[in-house]
């Protein structure tokens, strides 16, 4: 609770300009964060080359039947039902949910309309998928469907890793921090003897230097409001978190990895547990990675603080212009700027 109250009271500065690399951006997420990771990826696949989906299903899954967005009451009803039953527990397969061919066609249509990047960029993508053996929230079949959709859209089969041998609940997995491995409970971080952060980064980025013993960089808060402008209903918290290794403050060209929390994992709910105990920082120190931890806040329409993967921010939630996708992209662009303002 103390962490949640502190998050509510914080005031933060603008995201710093660090001259990070504009290419090779990667993103990982748990649960709703996994769905948002795939949405951000398809929207900006020219820049984002690596994606990790931990307990997440296929892009656009909630629109498996209603492919026009939340435009009519019937569409809204179908999308909510699909999000819960079809895209998490895989209970509506008799209705074709998730309907991968329909989703692939939807992605191609958005790309043709310029609402997401050309799908040719997916040819160089690397994908990490994870399904815990005790996860009853987002089941293995749903996660497997994410990999199959990526294959249909042009990702090479050998570029997709699917990890299923860890007996975890619905959680991000670590070597020794968090709840019991099989638990599905706050903070949704489970100690399973598996360094998921390291596994994610190694698959997405290639060979890595060994991690530091302790995190030697610095966490800092930043003002997320600058990235949503005057748009209402965006769902983002006022403050996000950034981790910057010391070398990335003095030398240009560090890569960016975005880490997206799941439902019930924002700083408003569990404090800094997700940002500080998932294990990314030690790898960032020795591999010149800036870590971006954007934050969603709970609200009346989104009581668990989930990323928008079913349309609560509006009908365009899959497109580049979607408020959350645009904000995340704007954060990456800001990090890539030079402090002196030069191109």
pLDDT digits over 273-296, tens only? 999 999 999 999 999 999 999 999
Per-residue pLDDT band at 4 (split at 50, 70, 90): very low
| Residue 329 appears among annotated catalytic residues | no
41 belongs to the catalytic site: no
Q: Is 235 left (phi over 0), alpha (psi -120 to 50) or beta?
A: left
Among residues 99, 135, 285, 308, which one is catalytic? 135
Mean pLDDT of 28-35: 98
**The dihedral of CA 218, 219, 223, 226: what is its sign?**
positive
User: 268, 187 in Cβ contact below 8 A?
Assistant: no
Which region among 74-78, 154-158, 195-199 has the lowest average model confidence (pLDDT)?
Answer: 74-78
Q: Catalytic residue at 31?
A: yes
Query: Catalytic residue among 31, 64, 179, 266, which?
Result: 31
The predicted pLDDT at position 98 comes to: 80
pLDDT of residue 81: 54
Q: How much is the pLDDT for 215?
A: 85
Q: What is the pLDDT of residue 220?
A: 96
pLDDT at 308 over 50: yes
Mean pLDDT to the nearest integer, 49-66: 88
The confidence score (pLDDT) of residue 122 equals 98
The predicted structure's pLDDT at residue 5: 36
pLDDT of residue 90: 56
Domain map (residue ranges) of the chain: 2-60+118-336
315 pLDDT exceeds 70?
yes
Instruction: Give the whole-angstrom CA distance, residue 147 versus residue 61.
Output: 13
136-172 pLDDT, tens digit per residue, is 999 999 999 999 999 999 999 999 999 999 999 999 9
- Nearest of 117, 146, 150, 137 to residue 34 by alpha carbon: 146
Q: What is the pLDDT of residue 85?
A: 59
Q: What's the pLDDT at 62?
A: 85
Q: What is the mean pLDDT of the chain?
A: 90
Contacts 24+ apart (CB under 8 A), 34-37: 34/146, 34/260, 34/262, 35/59, 35/61, 35/87, 35/307, 35/309, 36/260, 36/307, 36/308, 36/309, 36/324, 36/325, 36/328, 37/258, 37/260
**Is the model more confident about 216 or about 96?**
216
Residue 82 CB contacts under 8 Å (≥ 6 apart), including other chains: 61, 62, 63, 64, 65, 66, 92, 97, 98, 310
Helices (H), 186-245: 196-205
Confidence check: pLDDT of 110 > 50: yes
pLDDT of residue 339: 86
Query: What percent of the chain shows pLDDT beyond 70?
Result: 87
Q: From the candidates 41, 44, 170, 268, which is the catalytic residue? A: 170
Which pLDDT band holds residue 269 (cuts at 50, 70, 90)? very high
289 with 245: CB under 8 angstroms?
yes
Q: What is the pLDDT of residue 198?
A: 99
Closest CA to 204 of 150, 122, 283, 127: 127
Q: What is the pLDDT of residues 292-302, one digit of tens each?
A: 999 999 998 89
């Amino acid at each position: 609770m103390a962490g949640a109250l502190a998050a509510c009271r914080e005031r933060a500065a603008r995201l710093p300009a660090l001259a990070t690399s504009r290419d090779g951006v990667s993103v990982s997420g748990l649960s709703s964060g996994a769905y948002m990771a795939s949405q951000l990826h398809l929207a900006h696949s020219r820049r984002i080359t690596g994606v990790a989906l931990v307990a997440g299903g296929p892009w656009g899954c909630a629109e498996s039947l209603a492919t026009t967005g939340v435009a009519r009451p019937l569409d809204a009803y179908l999308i909510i039902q699909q999000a819960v039953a079809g895209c998490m527990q895989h209970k509506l397969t008799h209705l074709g949910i998730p309907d991968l061919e329909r989703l692939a066609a939807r992605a191609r249509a958005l790309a043709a309309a310029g609402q997401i990047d050309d799908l040719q960029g997916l040819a160089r993508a690397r994908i990490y998928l994870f399904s815990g053996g005790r996860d009853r929230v987002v089941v293995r079949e749903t996660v497997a469907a994410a990999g199959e959709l990526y294959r249909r859209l042009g990702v090479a089969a050998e570029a997709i890793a699917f990890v299923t041998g860890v007996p975890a609940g619905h959680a991000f997995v670590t070597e020794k921090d968090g709840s019991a491995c099989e638990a599905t409970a706050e903070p949704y971080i489970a100690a399973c003897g598996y360094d998921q952060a390291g596994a994610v980064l190694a698959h997405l980025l290639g060979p890595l230097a060994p991690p530091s013993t302790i995190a030697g960089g610095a966490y800092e808060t930043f003002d997320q409001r600058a990235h949503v402008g005057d748009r209402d209903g965006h769902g983002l918290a006022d403050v996000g978190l950034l981790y910057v290794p010391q070398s990335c403050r003095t030398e240009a060209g560090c890569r960016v990895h975005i880490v997206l929390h799941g439902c019930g994992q924002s700083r408003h709910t569990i404090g800094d547990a997700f940002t500080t105990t998932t294990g990314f920082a030690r790898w960032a120190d020795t591999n010149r990675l800036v870590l971006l931890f954007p934050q969603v806040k709970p609200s009346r329409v989104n009581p668990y603080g989930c990323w928008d993967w079913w349309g609560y921010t509006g009908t365009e939630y899959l497109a580049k212009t979607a408020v959350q996708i645009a904000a995340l992209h704007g954060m990456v662009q800001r990090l890539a700027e030079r402090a002196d303002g030069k191109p």
